[in-house]
Amino acid sequence: MHSIAFYNIENLFEPFSDLSLTRDKKWTVKRYLEKLNNIGYTLSEIGKTETDKHPTIIGLAEVENETVLEDLIQSTPLKGCNYNYVFYKSRDERGINISLLYDSGYFKVESSKPYSFELKNAFGKTEYTRDILLISGFLNTEKIYLLVNHWPSKRENDKETEHKRLAASHKVSEIITSIITKDKAARIIVLGDFNDNPTSKSVKRLVNQHKLQNPFEALRSFSRGSTIHNKQWHLFDQILLTTSFFNVEKNSLSFNSANIFDAAFLKNSEGKHKGSPNRTFQGNRYHGGYSDHFPVYIVLG
């Protein structure tokens, strides 16, 4: 069995880099190392109950560069996990990027490519956001395609930014169409922080256009999600799959389960934020936690 996960790790920047100084002058080497250990331990525990091992594949959001990825896979909790990574630097205005970690003992990368897309602000000026990352490879002996995403956020009014996530959704749809044109039986996994819930137009449109399955639609509730804002839970982090993963065949990878990895150690244990993600920064105050998101994962058997 294999688990495939996605985790928005909340601004993993090098200490004293221009980006981290711009973001927060309180970022130090000691806090960076603590963050690496926290994230590394979390990654090592995802899906372990079901598979008895660390995740085979992990999509990551909010990564600065290759240096932080090297430091992450060399952190004490991840030593011996055989992780390698795929990374491309995007033109994102915040300097954050996406990446894919994979256990090279189980997954062999065949090819990878970043896809950018343009957005326009209210004044018609071009804005740059995270790329969409396509990786094809072999999990055991089966070819799969992975699309890693971190769609534009809802920092402003939801309706004012919806067109940005619809543009991202359209780009993913284009990529899926191009894959299926060449490989009609393609097994595709779309994972990421969509900054929209499973019932949102951007996600629903993508699911319906390509007859994808979204096992996370049933997991969101008033008391559970992957991130929380103004005391309301959201399930922005999701993993979508083509229907081929639900056709159970002997000796073939098939969908087993999906879950939010919201273990107790990732939550605030007291105060007004009790039960919510124990994040690295709470506003401008260093909090020493993990991330403002919980990871999500699926299990293939």
Taking the alpha carbons of 178, 204, 135, 243 in that order, is the dihedral positive or negative? negative
Question: How would you label 244-283 residue by residue, b for 16+ Cβ within 10 Å and e otherwise?
Answer: bbeeeeeeebebbebbbbbeeebbbeeeebeebbbbbbbe
Q: Which two tokens stand for residue 147?
A: 């699309």
Res. 123: pLDDT tops 80: no
Q: Which two tokens stand for residue 76?
A: 């004490």
If one counts the domains in the chain, the total is: 1
**pLDDT, tens only, 17-40:** 766 554 556 889 999 999 999 999
Could you tell me how far CA 204 lies from the centroid of its own chain? 18
Contacts of 17 (CB under 8 A, 6+ apart): 64
Q: Residue 129: give its domain's CATH number.
A: 3.60.10.10
Residue 23: give the domain boundaries.
2-300
Average per-residue pLDDT for the chain? 93
User: Do the Cβ atoms of 130 and 88 come closer than 8 Å?
Assistant: no
Name the pLDDT band for 99 (thresholds 50, 70, 90): very high
Contacts of 145 (CB under 8 A, 6+ apart): 134, 135, 136, 179, 186, 187, 188, 189
Which DSSP string do the residues of the chain spell out, in sequence order?
-EEEEEEEEEEE--TT-HHHHHH-TT--HHHHHHHHHHHHHHHHHTTHHHHSS--SEEEEEEE--HHHHHHHHTSGGGTTS-EEEEE-----TT--EEEEEEETTTEEEEEEEEE---EE-TTS-EE--PPEEEEEEEETTEEEEEEEEE----SS-HHHHHHHHHHHHHHHHHHHHHHHHH-TT--EEEEEE-SS-TTSHHHHHHHHHHT-B-TTTTT-BTTB-SEEETTEEE--EEEEE-GGGGS--TTS--EEEEEE---GGGB--SSTTTTSB--SEETTEE---S-SS--EEEEE-
**pLDDT, tens only, 158-195:** 777 899 999 999 999 999 999 999 999 999 999 999 99
Pairing verdict, β 142-150 and 188-193: parallel
Higher pLDDT, 46 or 301: 46
**pLDDT, tens only, 197-247:** 999 999 999 999 999 999 999 998 999 999 999 889 999 999 999 999 998
Place of tokens 């954050």: 96
Among candidates 215, 213, 211, 149, which has minimal Cα distance to 180?
Answer: 211
**pLDDT, tens only, 206-215:** 999 999 999 9
68-77, 88-97, 171-180: which has the minimum mean pLDDT? 88-97
Res. 282: pLDDT tops 80: yes
**pLDDT, tens only, 131-165:** 999 999 999 899 999 999 999 998 756 777 899 99
